Amino acid sequence: MIPAWVLDYPTGEETGEYLAIDLGGTNLRVVNVTLKGNNQFETKQSKYSLPEGIRTAEADELFKFMAECLKTFVDENFPSNLSEPIPLGFTFSYPASQDIIDEGILQRWTKGYDIHGVEGYDVVPMLTKALKELNVPIEVVALINDTTGTLVASTYTDKETRMGLIFGTGVNGAYYERCGDIPKLEGKLVDDISDNTPMAINCEYGSFDNEHAVLPRTKYDIRIDDESPRPGQQSFEKMISGYYMGEVLRMLILDLAEKKLIFGDNGYKQLQEPYVMDSSFPSLFDLDTSDELDNSKKKLQLLGVESTYEDRQALKELASFVGERAARLAVCGIAAICKKRNYKTAHCAADGSVYEKYPGFKERAARALRDIFQWSEKDDPIVIVHAEDGSGVGAAVIAALTQKRVNQGKSVGTKSKMESKVNK
């Protein structure tokens, strides 16, 4: 769990114009956010496809590409000369340690990235260097995780927000903690940060139970972990996120096919290829209501697999198991934080492809929360709601909160980091 150095709740009255950049799995997104106050905002954005091979490229290639995209966006949207640099919130959705708001030391790559020369280093100077080389008038004022951004963006528009959540390619949560209840900060806080000062926490709970002591893993989970680029990491995520749900189902199906329990003597060679099934496969199988499950039949044919109606019925049931497990495990993070903070009511703002698109996920998650808390009321007191754009609006709001603190002479980092910043 990583202190994110967002030290205030947004009021909804923050104003100003900010840029946000978000490095995702397939695109890089640049967003111009105008905060208008009164819980209102406007956005203008562009997406840039990641070059082939960028996930395993050199560090300079990655940050040069990001700087080029920012330059293109600024040239198109700010054609006149700017009197001062535009503040940027840098959304970096990978585990990164922070002792100050404009720092992010990458702990480890996730989501298929493996770029040498970045782990263990601060990514902000790398982006800043690339921007200076292209003379792009931008100042990185805050580095955030998309989950922290989701928390802050949703709080900007909805004061009942207590958590920000991502259920997509990865899985994560964020919430506000009292600084006095964060042992990692003991002895590091400057005088203007009290025990009651709120601090956004990036939970990084996709890596919960990396010791494999708690979660009830199946043989398929164990195999996925063993065969992954980084065994023993992101254990929770590997059981529930969109990146792995199709692979869990593929292993289930392949196991049954090899035992001749489905597909008979029909070929299933393509099913032996790891990750050939993305989350669209369990999603479609689970949701399929077509006659004779014909939609599932066509989906299997894309992999060269012929199936009987009975085969497809079995796959529909297997897919529902995968979806049900993901939803029920996913809300354990919500329940844990709400119990820790003693929240009796809460809006938990969620974003991500699994939350948005996976059939029945929202309903299954709601049922799971009822089971955990054993609610008897008609209306659930803790609910999962749609999130605002965390990597865009959230990054902008955090940049605004950071600038406000700096202008007031307040701290945005640990004692040692603030001293070194002043000395610079």
Length of the chain: 424
Q: Is residue 164 part of a domain?
A: no
Q: Are residues 235 and 369 in the same domain?
A: yes
Tens of pLDDT, residues 363-389 = 999 999 999 999 987 789 999 999 988
Q: Are residues 252 and 356 in the same domain?
A: yes
Mean per-residue pLDDT for 310-316? 96
> If DSSP codes are grouped into helix, strand and coil, which group holds residue 86?
strand
Q: Is residue 275 part of a domain?
A: yes
Split into its structural domains, the chain has a count of 2
pLDDT on residue 411: 87
pLDDT on residue 88: 94
What gap in Å lies between CA 82 and CA 9, rounded to an integer?
30
What gap in Å lies between CA 367 and CA 183, rounded to an integer?
34
Helices (H), 213-291: 219-227, 237-240, 242-258, 280-287
Q: Which residue has the higher pLDDT, 411 or 420?
A: 411
Q: Are residues 267 and 248 in the same domain?
A: yes
Q: Is residue 193 part of a domain?
A: no
From 46, 55, 97, 108, the catalytic residue: 108
Secondary structure in 3-state letters for 286-333:
HHCCCHHHHHHHHHHHCCCCCCCHHHHHHHHHHHHHHHHHHHHHHHHH
What gap in Å lies between CA 394 and CA 388, rounded to an integer?
8
Pairing of the two strands 2-3 and 198-202: antiparallel
Identify the CATH number of the domain in which residue 335 sits: 3.40.367.20
From 8, 99, 122, 146, the catalytic residue: 146
Q: Are residues 297 and 412 in the same domain?
A: no
Mean per-residue pLDDT for 277-282? 93
Q: Are residues 129 and 245 in the same domain?
A: no
Q: Is residue 157 part of a domain?
A: no
- The question of whether 93 is a catalytic residue gets the answer yes
Tokens read off for 4? 């994110």
The string of DSSP codes covering 42-83 is EEEEEEEEPPTTGGGSBHHHHHHHHHHHHHHHHHHH--SPPS
What is the CA 2 to chain-centroid distance, rounded? 14
Q: Are residues 28 and 132 in the same domain?
A: yes
Give the rounded percent of residues in the chain with a pLDDT score beyond 90: 78
Q: Are residues 243 and 375 in the same domain?
A: yes
List Cβ neighbours of 418 (8 Å cut-off, separation of 6 or more): 100, 190, 411, 412
Asked whether residue 250 carries a pLDDT value surpassing 70, the answer given is yes
Q: Is residue 18 part of a domain?
A: yes
Q: Are residues 116 and 233 in the same domain?
A: no
From 8, 93, 296, 389, the catalytic residue: 93
Tens of pLDDT, residues 49-80 = 988 888 889 999 999 999 999 999 999 998 77
pLDDT on residue 413: 85
Tens of pLDDT, residues 178-231 = 999 999 998 888 888 999 999 999 999 999 999 999 999 999 999 999 998 889
Domain coverage including residue 6: 2-146+389-423
Asked whether residue 155 carries a pLDDT value surpassing 90, the answer given is yes
Q: Is residue 168 part of a domain?
A: no
Tens of pLDDT, residues 15-56 = 999 999 998 767 899 999 999 999 999 999 999 998 888 888
Q: Is residue 160 part of a domain?
A: no
pLDDT range class, residue 422, cuts 50, 70, 90: low
Q: Are residues 223 and 323 in the same domain?
A: yes
Q: Measuring CA to CA, how many Å separate 278 from each of 113, 152, 246, 261, 271?
A: 17, 30, 5, 23, 12
Q: Are residues 22 and 81 in the same domain?
A: yes
Identify the CATH number of the domain in which residue 28 sits: 3.30.420.40
Q: Are residues 323 and 398 in the same domain?
A: no
pLDDT range class, residue 120, cuts 50, 70, 90: very high
Q: Tell me the average pLDDT of the chain.
A: 92
Name the nearest CA neighbour of 281 among 253, 239, 310.
253
Mean per-residue pLDDT for 379-407? 92
Asked whether residue 424 carries a pLDDT value surpassing 60, the answer given is no
Q: Is residue 250 part of a domain?
A: yes
Tokens read off for 272? 């032996």
pLDDT on residue 289: 94
Q: Are residues 225 and 355 in the same domain?
A: yes
